[in-house]
Amino acid sequence: MNSIRQVPTRVKSRRVEANLGAEREHFDKQQLSSISKAINTTETPVKEKHARRIILGTHREKGAYTFWSYALGFPLHSNSILCWKFCNVLHKVLRDGHRNVLQDCMRHHSSLVEIGKLWSNLHDKYGQLVALYSKLLCTKMEFHTKHSDIPPNLEVTDEVLERTAGTDINNVFQLTVEVFDYLDAELRLAETVLRQLNTSIAISTLTSGQCRLAPLIQVIQDCSHLYHFTVKLLFKLHACLPADTLQGHRDRFHDQFHSLKTFFNKARDMMYFKRLIQIPKLPDSPPNFLHAASLAKHVKPVVVIPDEEPEQQDDDDDDPEPLIEVSDVSTPSMQAQPQLDIFDKAFGPPNGGFDDRDLQIESLKRDLELLRAELERVKAEAQRYITQLKSQINSLEAELEEQRAQKQRALVENEQLRMELEATRRRNAEHESLQTTFIEAEKRSQATEQRYNKLKEKHTELVASHAELLRKSADTVKMLSATQQTQDEVERTKQQLSFEIDRIKQEADMKLEEQKFEMEKLRRELEEKMAEVTRIKGTLQSSEKASEQVTSSMTALQAEKERLMRSVSEKEAELSSLRQAAQAQQSSLRQERERSSRELGELQGKLQEKSSQEEQLKQKLLEEQFALLQGTVTEAESIIQDAVAKLDDPLHVRCTSSPDYLISRAEATLGSVDKVKKGHADYLSNMRDAGGLLRALTQFSHLAADTIINGSATAHMAPTDHADRLTENCRGCATESLQFFKDLKSKTTLQRADPASIRIVIQKILYLGQELRPKGSDVRQEELGDLVDKEMAATSAAIEEAVRRIDEMMNQARKDTTGIKLEVNERILFSCTDLMKAIRMLIIASTDLQKEIVEGGRGAATIKEFYARNSRWTEGLISAAKAVGWGATEMVESADKVVLHTGKYEELIVCSHEIAASTAQLVAASKVKADRHSTRLTTLQQASRHVNQMAANVVASTRTGQEHLEEKDTMDFSGMSLIKLRKEEMESQVKVLELESYLENERLRLGELRKKHYELAGVPLEPEGNGVRSPSPAHPGTMSPKPSKPALMKKPALAQKPTIPSKSMFK
């Protein structure tokens, strides 16, 4: 009976589990529906109800795991509108979602960065917006991860901001910079959206414009808080630091203030934002941080989101999400009042209520929840420890590699020191015999240097004396010019005085004429008045009045006359004084002119005397310059004679040199011959300056002696016929040089001295050196030219064949595969096709550049002769072309295996790197003899960069496809016990150690393979020096008589096989 009463409890627990499963399935279905409707390819804004359901889902599951599990399945790399709406939803989730959303999003930080980089390289309007939006979201996540006290919605009090900034001024300064960067990212996105909206002539009432404008609501909310943070932090900085230190912060804040104000004003005028958000107004001018009282005037901008009107639910929408969890609310009620089922109605409740086991189950469930939380914490801590250990392993590996490199360098240096010690011991035995000759040469050099120093001091004194004379002559000229200016000023003053006197005379005459005219006029008026008095004599009163008026007018006229006479006398007195002053000035000017004439005569006499002395000094300077030339020629003769003496020296027989070094010395000597010829012509045109000729002779003597010595050393290794001709030409070079020096030492033969004969002999030495250069051993010289064309043609044919096979694989893949596999295969094959086309353009550009090099450098020779003469360069081109063709064939094979799922993606990545390295080798081989300013060289370099970009695209598409097709385990450890977890952890550590050991062995094997590859390619393992090989300690490693290979045959650095990073580096 007791067992029957226990049946309803077990049935009830199973029913609760079934309800929980159905509720979880309903939740997943509803979240998938909301995410699919919010993130789609339609150019419309995200609906708020879908975003709200997604946000409520994050609060329900306390994270964003479900959101990311569905969002990662969208083709974010192929549709820009889809990616733009994804960023908008992610921004909403970060702001309003659960606090654990930030941690879940940081796990996908690298994916978000890759999305931004991808769309930034594409010319798409939404793509550029996606690149900026992804950068903003990454900045937001990094900022709030670092400062966990500030939530992603930025809604914190000033006390929390003060606590986050702390008391350390360095932390405050760094936090201010981070907030500046945060606000810059927000404003950059807003400015780009508004600029695109203007350029596309869209308005905010259209769906296309609203799709772009919708994320700006979150941007406005963030910007208002960030602006307030910036003001608070800057006032705090100005309270602790001087104003000059924060000038850059103030300038940056002013720029952001004006940008933010412009953005708010534009957004406030748009119809779209008026019903969705209330945008605050910023003050007309930014705060004055130099006055602390301005902080009280600052008002925090507040963004208001008005209450939304209830939206009508669509027919195809699911049921609305409950705002609270039903399971959490219903549990207490279920515990307080157990529900009755059919068994309870039939048999009654067990013992009048729940059984004790139900209470134990509930307590065990609570303990299980606590253990799960503890397990999550342990997992997080273990993950942190694993990350730290991995970083320590990487640092230790780097240190180990550095120690190995240092050990290798120490071994090489030890070997070099040992060889130098042996050479020093041999050299000490010969040093005693050469000591006497060295002492005599040193004495001769000291005597010559003393004589040169004396001549130099004398020349310095002459130059100083000549400069002093020039300064005195300039002073004399200045005095003469000043005297002349004084005379001119006196003449101008005299002319001005005479002009003033004439003007005063004219004015006086004019006033006298006016006064005479007035007198005549008054006289006529007086006569008229007298006649009138006679006529009106009958009237007494009128007559008396007329008489009185005439009398008064006569008195006034008499006074005016006297005043005019006085002014005339004053002007005449002033004129006489001016005449006396002019006469005194003329007498003083005459005396000054006589004194200046006497001084000028004296200065001219001194100038003639100085000119004669200067001529004497010039003559003396010419003689000293010629003496310097003779001394330099004598020293050059001794250098050439010393070089000729070494031709017969028995000790010199042991010295050897390479034809390449002899050619370089001979070419340098030819260049110095041209400088000597130019310096000789300059000296003949201006014999007062022999500096250019002296420098050219010094350089020529040393280079000619070096050519003679290296020619003799090269003859010791050459065949008998070539050795005799080379030695004879070296002696001829010395003879012609000495004859040229002899002509320079005499003034009679100085004009006809010509180094043309020296040039002819040195050109013969150069030709013999080119004949003695080593030839290719595997191909005859006359076949090299044809082989280059054949290899380039074969490479082009291999590329064409590769393109054809890729097209066939593409068609076959479309027939055999569908879905995500077909998309991955098409992406890989398209990138391979683009890479082959880029390689084909590179081959064409390299062929054009080779034709230009051959046409510009072969001269009168044929193309085959040019390739034969430059055999090493030709062999480098052939090797590079073979490598490119082989790489293309291998890539096609690897792509075929990958499409058929019989190969590895890593093989395709390695082939891409190998093709990039081979093309870089081809470019390096082509650039050796190309003109630096050649347009075809520029075209080749552009084609090489395009090949590298296409190879990178192949790698990127391969890795992306690999990530899409690989199955990822969820790593659910919820059902394991503590002992089981410890055991799994130990097994994982064992596997890590095994993989690290395997990785180390593979790296050693790769190093040995590369070493063997370089040996087969002809790259020497140790560097060989050029120049004369003698047993001197200065060249310890040049004892071998074999000529070193030129640098062209070395594989360039780009051709090394790259180390493929692990997959974790891309996540």
Q: What is the pLDDT of residue 52?
A: 92
Q: What is the pLDDT of residue 871?
A: 65
Taking residue 668's Cβ as centre, other Cβ atoms within 10 Å add up to 18
Q: Are 121 and 77 in contact (CB under 8 A)?
A: no
Band (pLDDT 50/70/90 cuts) for residue 1062 is very low
Q: What is the pLDDT of residue 261?
A: 92
Token pair for 69: 């599990």
Whether the pLDDT of residue 481 is over 50: the answer is yes
Q: What is the pLDDT of residue 347?
A: 42
Length of the chain counted residue by residue: 1067
Question: For 196-238, what is each residue's pLDDT tens digit?
Answer: 887 554 466 788 888 989 999 999 999 999 999 999 999 989 9
Closest C-alpha among 520, 516, 525 to residue 546:
525
Rounded to whole angstroms, the Cα distance separating 193 from 185 reads: 13
Contact residues for 690 (Cβ-Cβ < 8 A; gap 6+): 625, 626, 628, 629, 683
Q: Which of 145-159, 178-192, 527-541 has the lowest mean pLDDT?
A: 527-541
Classified as helix, coil or strand, 971 is coil
Taking residue 665's Cβ as centre, other Cβ atoms within 10 Å add up to 28
Q: What is the pLDDT of residue 569?
A: 76
Contact residues for 356 (Cβ-Cβ < 8 A; gap 6+): none
Band (pLDDT 50/70/90 cuts) for residue 959 is confident
Checking 465-470 for CB contacts under 8 A at 24+ apart, the result is: 465/617, 466/614, 466/617, 469/610, 469/613, 469/614
Whether the pLDDT of residue 186 is over 50: the answer is yes
Residue type (1 letter), 203: I
Band (pLDDT 50/70/90 cuts) for residue 351 is very low
HSE-CB of 150 using CA atoms within 13 angstroms: 22
Q: What is the pLDDT of residue 292?
A: 80
Sign of the CA dihedral with 429 first, then 433, 439, and 445 last: negative
- The more confidently predicted of residues 599 and 1055 is 599
What is the average per-residue pLDDT within 75-102? 91
Whether the pLDDT of residue 111 is over 60: the answer is yes
Rounded to whole angstroms, the Cα distance separating 1004 from 411 reads: 19
What is the average per-residue pLDDT within 959-978? 68
Whether the pLDDT of residue 140 is over 50: the answer is yes
- The more confidently predicted of residues 889 and 433 is 889
Whether the pLDDT of residue 820 is over 50: the answer is yes
What is the average per-residue pLDDT within 299-325? 57
Whether the pLDDT of residue 130 is over 80: the answer is yes
The one-character DSSP state at 1029 is B
Q: What is the pLDDT of residue 14?
A: 58
Band (pLDDT 50/70/90 cuts) for residue 465 is confident
Question: For 1024-1053, what is each residue's pLDDT tens digit?
Answer: 333 333 333 333 333 333 333 333 333 333
Question: For 604-625, what is each residue's pLDDT tens digit?
Answer: 888 888 878 888 888 888 888 8
Rounded to whole angstroms, the Cα distance separating 803 from 807 reads: 6
Whether the pLDDT of residue 444 is over 50: the answer is yes
Whether the pLDDT of residue 693 is over 80: the answer is yes
Rounded to whole angstroms, the Cα distance separating 1046 from 1024 reads: 10
Residue type (1 letter), 193: V
Q: What is the pLDDT of residue 863?
A: 67
Q: Which of 80-94, 178-192, 640-654 has the lowest mean pLDDT?
A: 640-654
Checking 1022-1026 for CB contacts under 8 A at 24+ apart, the result is: 1026/658, 1026/660, 1026/661, 1026/664
Residue type (1 letter), 927: K
C-alpha distances out from residue 663 to 552, 574, 756, 1056, Å:
124, 97, 19, 32
Taking residue 707's Cβ as centre, other Cβ atoms within 10 Å add up to 29
Question: For 855-869, what is each residue's pLDDT tens digit?
Answer: 776 555 566 667 666
- The more confidently predicted of residues 568 and 5 is 568
Question: For 387-442, what is each residue's pLDDT tens digit?
Answer: 888 878 887 888 888 888 888 888 888 888 888 888 888 877 777 767 777 677 67
Q: What is the pLDDT of residue 93?
A: 93
Band (pLDDT 50/70/90 cuts) for residue 257 is very high
Residues forming beta bridges with residue 1029, ordered by sequence position? 656
Question: For 794-817, what is each residue's pLDDT tens digit?
Answer: 777 777 777 788 777 877 777 777
Q: What is the pLDDT of residue 867?
A: 67
* Residue 278 dihedral angles phi and psi, to the nearest 5°: -105, 110
Contact residues for 900 (Cβ-Cβ < 8 A; gap 6+): none
Rounded to whole angstroms, the Cα distance separating 746 from 744 reads: 6
Q: Which of 13-27, 618-632, 829-843, 1020-1034 has the lowest mean pLDDT?
A: 1020-1034
pLDDT above 70 covers a percentage of the chain that reads 81
- The more confidently predicted of residues 981 and 1045 is 981
Q: What is the pLDDT of residue 309?
A: 52
- The more confidently predicted of residues 581 and 164 is 164
Whether the pLDDT of residue 981 is over 50: the answer is yes
**E strand or H helix at 219, and its extent?**
helix 216-240
